[in-house]
Amino acid sequence: MQVKAYGKINLYLDILDRRADGFNNIETIFQTVNLHDTLTFEVRDRDLTMTCSDPSLENGDSNLVLCAAKLLQDRTGCDKGIHVHLEKRIPVAGGMAGGSVDAAATLRALNKLWNLELDDAALHECAAELGSDVPYCLIGGTVAATGRGEILEPINPLPETWFVLVQPPLGISAGEVYNHSALTRNEEKSINERTPSFTRALELLHEGRIADVMFNQMESAILTMHPELAELKTHMLNMGCAAAIVSGSGPTLVGFCENEPATEQVSGSLSEAPVRVVNSTVQSIMVD
């Protein structure tokens, strides 16, 4: 079985209080884009193995793909194995949930290949154990998320929307960002389980005002740590992006453009880092 696993961006990301379990409560709007990894699955005996086109990516037991497979074995008692080849296109550690969507694709694929017949609730439970972004990656599209990112509410999908992705060669630790002194948190009181800011962002999205929605609370720390990202963001705005933010914990920058010609103008002006032009999609996992 061959599966395409599509990356995500955060159109909106707000950081609330720190939870007793050490995670942070967030409010976010996830959006899938048409940049994907490809995973090829071959059923084997009980062993779990993988290869990857990116030699920098760990292929051992700590890789989320193999973690997902091992979790399914443990939960179901399945005695089958798998070999996975991962063709990597989503930037590694780029704030686009590349590892998470690969894990989600593995859950979906092995549920079929191993004839496990787990329902969506059981898969969601497994996904939440693997990581905060994995439950979203099981479904994809345009989704409002709360909690630590695992409480999901699909919302009206975007019309075809264009983005410019720029990935500077930086390594940014999400833990370091969350603990940085420059990180501020939204202290608004929630009404009906949402802060007023999040409610307003969802209203703006419904009105089609994407540029006004785009926001990342983590930028206060990320741009302090890496002022070169602030310069790059300013350049993208000056060249034609209607809005630009860091995706997740970075370092990928996401520029929203009103149309495809604007993306070409912005992408053509960038030469110092890998640049991709992508558009919104409605699902994160596609079986060929």
- Catalytic site residues? 8, 133
Task: Name the strand (E) or helix (H) holding 6.
Answer: strand 2-18
Q: How far apart are CA 202 and CA 205, in angstroms?
A: 5
Q: What is the SS3 assignment for 234?
A: helix
Residue 236: both structure tokens together: 């993208």
Q: How far apart are CA 222 and CA 178, in angstroms?
A: 10
Distances (CA, A) of 165 to 194, 230, 245: 29, 15, 10
Angle between helices 120-130 and 64-76 (to 10 degrees): 130
- Report the C-alpha dihedral over residues 106, 112, 115, 119, rounded to 10 degrees: 90
Return the closest-CA partner of residue 214 out of 168, 161, 170, 260: 161
Residue recorded with tokens 């370091």 = 176
